[in-house]
């Protein structure tokens, strides 16, 4: 009886271990996707910062970005809105 109980215990844990292994692989895949998204966001932020950094600063880009953030425009300007997936910043 003790042998069957121990065998059942180890068999049950072996089966649960396989299921947990599959779950951990799925978690790892989801974490990699999250890492790729975070890396892309970081690179986009670095591009934005480099566009307004020190000697590389482009006054037109700074002005354009400031007006976009403040939602301002000059009279006579033509505004071309970007689709959400095609935005520059």
- The tens digit of pLDDT for each residue in 36-80 reads 999 999 998 888 787 777 666 677 777 777 777 887 777 887 777
Is 0.75 topped by the overall pTM? Answer: no
For residues 21 and 15, is the Cβ–Cβ distance under 8 A?
A: no
> For residue 61, what pLDDT is reported?
73
Is 89 a residue whose pLDDT tops 60?
no
> For residue 32, what pLDDT is reported?
97
For CA atoms 45, 53, 66, 88, give the dihedral sign: negative
Report how far apart, in Å, the C-alpha atoms of 41 and of each of 19, 26, 46, 62 are.
33, 23, 9, 20
> For residue 88, what pLDDT is reported?
62
CB atoms closer than 10 angstroms to residue 65: 16
Q: How far apart are CA 54 and CA 3, in angstroms?
A: 75
């Amino acid at each position: 009886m003790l042998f069957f109980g121990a065998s059942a215990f180890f068999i049950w844990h072996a089966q649960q271990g396989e299921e947990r292994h599959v779950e951990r692989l799925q978690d790892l895949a989801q974490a990699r996707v999250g890492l790729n998204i975070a890396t892309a966001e970081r690179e986009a932020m670095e591009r934005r910062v480099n566009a307004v950094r020190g000697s590389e600063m482009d006054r037109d880009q700074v002005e354009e970005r400031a007006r976009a953030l403040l939602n301002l425009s000059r009279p006579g300007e033509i505004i071309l809105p970007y689709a959400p997936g095609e935005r520059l910043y």
